[in-house]
Amino acid sequence: MSEIEIKVPNIGDFKDVEVIEVLVSEGQSIKKNEALITIESDKSSVEIPSNLEGKVKNLKIKVGDKVSEGDLILTIESNLEIKKEEVKEKLDIEKDIKKTEIKKDYIQPKIIHKKNVTDISFASPKARKFARELGVNINQVIGSEKDGRVIEDDIKKFVSSNSKNNAAVKDSKPNKIKSEFEHSDFGEVEIKDVPRVKKLSSKYLINSWTTIPHVTNHDEADITEMENFRSSLKDMYTGEKIKITPLAFIIKALVASLKKFPNFNSSIDEIDSGKMTVKKYYHIGIAVDTPNGLMVPKLRNANNKKISLISKELKEISELCRNLKIDKKELFGGSMTITSLGGIGGSFFTPIINYPEVAILGVGRSEKKQIFMNGKFQIRTMLPISLSYDHRIIDGAEAARFNNDLKENLGKNFAYKLAV
């Protein structure tokens, strides 16, 4: 182990510069580029780093000393085999550290500018020590005193501001959990590309799920008469059976409920503003299952269309989505969305709200059940419905009333009125 001297490197056109802070002590282990002392002149304040690593043996300098290039700072014990030329290598501080020029004859107005990480802050030893205790890089702190000098209050404000910003970043970017093992450690795997539609929609789903407080109410609607009526529809001229999807009836029923409960046909862009946008149009989003992923086109002005036209347009926009020919604009600007699993199967689930909408209706597959009505059990066709809503705007009681109204709209009287 050899004892090596570390001296003041080239610090520009400065002589007899005051040492305002000693950052290491005897017996301390230091790393390469670790700051040893802080010096301060009339023009700048800089930290002198070590060009070696080792253990401090003798400190040759103290606070208040005047130093120039070549003065001995300390000696270290190091296991490294180092040539004398390397030990005496002069570090050009102007290359490694951007100095902050301090103008003595001019005091700038208190305009806050962003500082580069490499800028050097003008600060007292006490302020620097306080910053180190808090783990703060003092070079990032904006000084409020004369000539930009940093004081303890500046550091406190910096820490407070950063805490809020870090919390916001942490909330907006959930930590990714990395597995200790690779999937291939357990057997054969295949790496495939995520379909483009799913990749594009993922950010919207994450935004919706993480920013909107979802609540879901589950219920069942008796659609016995509606289904009987739907299956009995025939062309008045040819006598052929008219095929109209149950979804067309559900859309008309939903529009009627939206008119009665306008909060469900609204959006909130910024809850802190205290404002919400209530829409006067009725554009119903329909979740369409495609080979490329889920797409949600809008059926425009559903309130002005008859059942037969709605059924026809449903087929058309679904086909456009499956062939990736739908206009991008048609995927936005909805009132409320319906997502149906009726053609596949399943009952209740929790649909994710299609932001910036505030509610979504999930529909399962209908089935016949024994229901106790009018003093006896009867076989009825029941439709499972799952209503997810934004709890910032809609509370549980309002959601329950909305579901009750929707069930009435899907009942026998409404089903008949829709078709005549």
The residues annotated with a catalytic role in the active site are 391
Q: Give the position of tokens 């554009």.
A: 283
**Cis before 262 (ω within 30):** no
Distance CA 402, CA 347 (A): 19
> 3-class DSSP state for residue 103?
coil
Please, are residues 1 and 82 in contact by the beta-carbon 8 Å criterion?
A: no
Q: Which amino acid is at 19?
A: V
Spatial distance between the Cα atoms of 51 and 92, rounded to a whole number of angstroms: 12
Cβ neighbours of residue 240 closer than 8 Å, sequence gap 6 or more: 234
Distance between start and end Cα atoms, the chain: 100
Q: Distance between CA atoms of 342 and 383, rounded to whole angstroms? A: 9
Of all helices (H) and strands (E), which one includes residue 219? strand 214-222
Cα dihedral sign, 10-13-19-20 = negative
Strand partners for 62: none
Name beta bridge partners: 221. Answer: 383
Helix (H, G, I), strand (E, B) or coil at 3: strand
At residue 250, what is the residue type? Answer: I
Candidates 74, 35, 38; CA nearest to 57 is: 74
Distance of CA 219 to the CA centre of its chain: 32
How far is residue 145's CA from residue 334's CA, in Å, rounded to a whole number? 54
User: Which residues, 6+ apart, have CB-to-CB distance to 290 below 8 Å?
Assistant: 197, 321, 322, 324
Cα-to-chain-centroid distance, residue 332: 20
